[in-house]
Structure 1
Amino acid sequence: MNKAIHTPAKSLTNTNDKDKLKTLFSTQLKTIFHYLQTNISTASMVSEATGIPQKNITRYKRDLEQQGLLFEVEKKLCKLTGFKAWYISTNKDLLTSITSKDE
């Protein structure tokens, strides 16, 4: 009984396809960044709105936070999932308008 060994897809070994994959991820990152310029949402809500997998959004969230481009606004129940989650944004003006309401 031989079990198949999982190897990277052949399409990813071609340089052209690697470039396509980089372009896809770059496009996803830009989509998330621009969506969060006008919205304060959880990662699940961003996924629902953009069609980008939630796991990818979580990775991009970390990358954007490390670059100082994404901010956690407040932690509360997600309107989509009903679970407690961080609402995030890439727009500092939205962040300051929310925090000034709390004062």
Structure 2
Amino acid sequence: MPTKTTTKAESFAGLSTIEQETVITIDRETRRARIYTSDTRFINKLDKLYERKKVHRNADGITAVEYEVPEKLVSFRRRLMNLTDEEKRQRVAHLHKKREENKA
């Protein structure tokens, strides 16, 4: 169950946005992803989904949190392209051409 931030001692340290970062490392052997983040947007989201594995603090409060999740939960997505109708037609024609070439 996720750990909740409920006390004054558990408040965020108030790092500036330039100091906030998120790092994801994936262990190929264990197939586990470790997420280290000092970005409060991601801490709030990840707290709702996963248990905190380690909390980093300074005198001002929480500076970063680490989570560990199965590798398969990490996803990399392409940005969607806004194509014109003509560009879409060209891409479809190109795909049809390539499929025909692969059949031969």
Instruction: Compute the TM-score of the two structures, normalised by the length of structure 1.
Output: 0.27
- Greater helix content: 1
